[in-house]
Amino acid sequence: MKTDISYARHLDSEDELSTYREEFYLSPDKIYFDGNSLGILSKRAKKTVEMLMESWKEYGIDGWSEGAYPWFYLSEKLGKMSAHLIGARPEEVIITGSTTTNLHQLTASFFQPRGKKTKILADELNFPSDIYALKSQLRLKGLQPEDHLIQVKSKDGNTLNTNTIIEAMSEEVAMLVLPGVLYRSGQILDMETITVEAHKRGIIVGFDLCHSIGSIPHQLSEWGVDFAFWCTYKHLNGGPGSVGGLYVNQKHFGNNPGLAGWFSSNKEKQFDMDHTLTPAESAGAYQIGTPHVLSAAPLIGSLEMFEEIGIARIRKKSLELTNYLMKLIEVELQEQGFFIANPKADELRGGHIYLEHPEAARICKALKAEGVIPDFRNPNGIRLAPVALYNTFEEIWKMVQILKTIMENKAYKNFENKRGVIA
C-alpha cells in the first residue's frame, strides 16, 4: 500500500462526500477523531437552534403549533427523519428522552416476567449505563440482579460470539438487550440472527444503537426487532446531551407504555385532559414528558444531511477511512506495540477502530498535546473515529505520522499513564 501523503490526497480528491466537510465547524489546528463520542457542530445544526430560539421569541406559547417546526410535533418530525437510518417505518421512531431513560421506559414496557421466564440477557462488554438500568428494573420487580441478569461472556475481552449469545438464550430468558455495535471494540453484532433465534425461544429483543446509528445501515423492521434506543450526539452530531431516540416495532402498537406520561397520549386526545390514557398508535406512546425542544433543535439540521446523503454512502466512506487507517498503522507503527483490537472484516467493524497499548492513557494525552483528539477507554484502549462527513484521508495520514513521532521519541513519557476525569 502507498504510504506517502500524495496518496492520501488522491483519495480525498475522489471523495464524493468531501463538500460536507465545509458544513462543520472544524478547528484548523486540530484533527478530531472523537466523533464516536461527541460529533462536531455543523452549521445547519447551529442554524436550526437559532430558528427554534426565534420561534420562541416570535410566537411564545403559540410556538407549539406555529412556525416552520411546531414544537408539539417536533419529536415525530425528527423520528421520521431518523427512520431510514435504522430501517424502520416513520411511525416506529420517536426522538425523546435519553439513552438510559429510554431503556428504563422500554424495559418497564417489555420486560414482563412470567412463570419460568424471569431473566434478562445482556453482555459483559456493554456500556455500564445499560447494565445499571437493567439491574434497577429487575429490583423494581422484586428480582435480584445476581440471579436474574445473565451477562454473556467474551472470550477475548473485546468481542462477542453469536453462538455464545444464542447458547445463553435459555427458557428462563424473557428479554435480551444487546448493543448493535460494541462501544469499545466497534464490533457489529449479528442483529438479524440474534433476533430470529431469540424469537424462536419467545424472547423479546432490544438493541442499543448508540454506536451504530448514523454509522452503519440497519433493517430493524425487516428483522422484526422489538425495540431499540440510542443517543444522538455521537455519529448524528446532535450536540452534548441532545435528545435520544427509540424504536418500537408496530406489532406492539396499542399497548400502554410501562412508564406513562402526558406525551404518551394520542395527540388528538392529549388536550382532552382525561385521566385515562389513550396511548398514541405509534412509537410516540413511549414518550413520557414534554419534548426538550431546544436540545432537539440541532438534530433538524444534522439529520437533513443524513437524508441528503443516505446511510449507504456514509457507510462506504467510513469503511474506506477505517481500512486506510488500519493499513497505515500496520505499516508505520508495527514496531511500537500497538494491537488492533477491533474486527478487521468490513462486515464486522463499525465506525471506529480500537487500539490497545500498555501506555494508552499517556499516548492519548501526547496526541492531544499535538492537536489530535482521540478517545481513551480504560484500562489500555485508544478509540479513533474518522467520520465520513468531516474527516479526511490526509488527516489520517498526518495523525499516524504524529503518533509515530510520539512513539519513536517516547514523548508520551512526559505524561502520567492515568485517565483524566473524562477519558
Q: Give binding residues for pyridoxal 5'-phosphate as ranges.
A: 99-100, 127-130, 208, 211, 233, 262, 290
Q: How many CB atoms are located within 10 Å of the residue 170 CB?
A: 13
**Which amino acid does the sequence have at 143?**
L
Q: Cell numbers of 320, please?
A: 474506506
The single residue listed with the C-alpha cell 440472527 is 193
Q: Say which residues have a Cβ less than 8 Å from residue 273's Cβ, sequence separation at least 6.
A: none
| 8-state DSSP, 39 | P
Q: How many Å from the N-terminal Cα to the C-terminal Cα in the chain?
A: 33
Distances (CA, A) of 283 to 105, 265, 273, 290: 12, 11, 21, 15
| 8-state DSSP, 89 | -
60: left (phi over 0), alpha (psi -120 to 50) or beta: left
Closest CA to 338 of 321, 323, 360: 360
CA distance 179 to 395: 29
Give the containing element (helix H, strand E) for 149: strand 149-152
| 8-state DSSP, 179 | E
CA distance 52 to 68: 9
Binding residues: 99-100, 127-130, 208, 211, 233, 262, 290
Size (the chain), residues:
423
